Amino acid sequence: MSDSWIVGINPVEGALSNDAERVREVLVENGQRNPRVHELAERAKALKIPVHHRPREQLDRVSGEARHQGIVALYEPPPVASESDLPDLLTVAGSDALFLVLDGVTDPHNLGACLRSAAAANVTAVIVPKDRAVGLTPVVRRASAGGADRVPLVAATNLARAMRTLKDAGVWITGLAGDTEQAIYDVDLKGPVALVLGSEGEGMRRLTRENCDFVARIPMPGSMESLNVSVATGVVLFEALRQRGAR
C-alpha cells in the first residue's frame, strides 16, 4: 500500500502514540502557534522522525478536503487485512469476539465515526466489502480520532463468504434493519457475535441479510424513522457491552 497523509492534530497524535514506526515525516505549517502542534513536532523529533516547516498551501494540497489544523504526517499504512486474517483474529479474541460488519458505508465521516466507536468498544475487527467502502482516507482517519490506528480493518473481497467464516467459527450474526419487530435489546449479544449495519441509504444488501442469524431494529418511539449509521453503530455496540457486563 502506498504512503498516505494523516491530517490534523488528533490523527497525528494517534499515529505517533500507536504506530510511530510507520510515520515517515511530519509537516508543520509555517508560523504555527498552536501549542499542541509544537508538542507533536517535538515528540516526532524525539522519535527521530523528520519534521519540516512548510507553507500553508502545501499542507492544504496534501490534506484535500480534510482540515489539517497546521500539521500533517506522511504515513505508511500497514497492509489492510483480508478474509484470510479472520481465523487468527477469531483465535485471539475467543469467546470475547465482537465484530462490526459495515455493508457499503461510503461516507468517510460515517466510516471514521464507526471506527471511533469500534475502538472505544474494543471491537475485534471492522469488516467492510473491499469494493463498496470508502477506505482509510485522511478524512476517515480524522473522523476516527485515532480509532483507525486501534482497530483492525478487514477488507473482504466477498462479504458473504467472510460472514460464513465467522458463522463456521461459532460467531452469531445480528443484522440491523428497520422493517422487523425484534428489538436489539431482546437479542442475546453475549459470547462471540458480529453486528451488521448497512449503507447509509439502502441498508443491508439481500445476500448480507440472508447470512445473518437474527435481524433486529433499534426501537425509536420518536418521530424519526432511522438513525445515522455511525449513531446506530454506537447504540448497538454499547448494548453488546452492556449485556456482557463490560466496565
- CATH number, position 52: 3.30.1330.30
The answer to whether residues 67 and 177 belong to one domain is: no
The answer to whether residues 88 and 163 belong to one domain is: yes
Which grid cell is 113?
465515526
Which grid cell is 218?
433499534
Show the domain range for 31: 4-75
**Helix, strand, or coil here: 74?**
strand
**What one-character DSSP code corresponds to residue 187?**
S
Q: What is the chain's pLDDT, residue by residue, as a tens digit (247 residues)?
A: 456 888 899 889 988 988 899 899 999 999 999 999 999 999 999 999 999 999 999 999 988 877 899 999 998 877 778 889 999 999 999 999 999 999 988 888 899 999 999 999 999 999 999 886 667 777 787 788 778 778 989 999 999 999 999 999 999 999 999 888 899 999 999 999 999 999 877 789 999 999 999 999 999 877 666 788 999 999 999 999 999 986 5
Judge whether 227 is annotated as a binding position: yes
The answer to whether residues 150 and 169 belong to one domain is: yes
Number of domains the chain contains: 2
Judge whether 94 is annotated as a binding position: no
The answer to whether residues 57 and 90 belong to one domain is: no
Judge whether 218 is annotated as a binding position: yes
Q: How far apart are CA 45 and CA 239, in angstroms?
A: 42
The answer to whether residues 26 and 147 belong to one domain is: no
For residue 195, the number of C-alpha atoms closer than 13 Å in the C-beta half-sphere is 32
The CATH number of residue 230's host domain is 3.40.1280.10
Which grid cell is 107?
461516507
The answer to whether residues 66 and 87 belong to one domain is: no
The answer to whether residues 116 and 153 belong to one domain is: yes
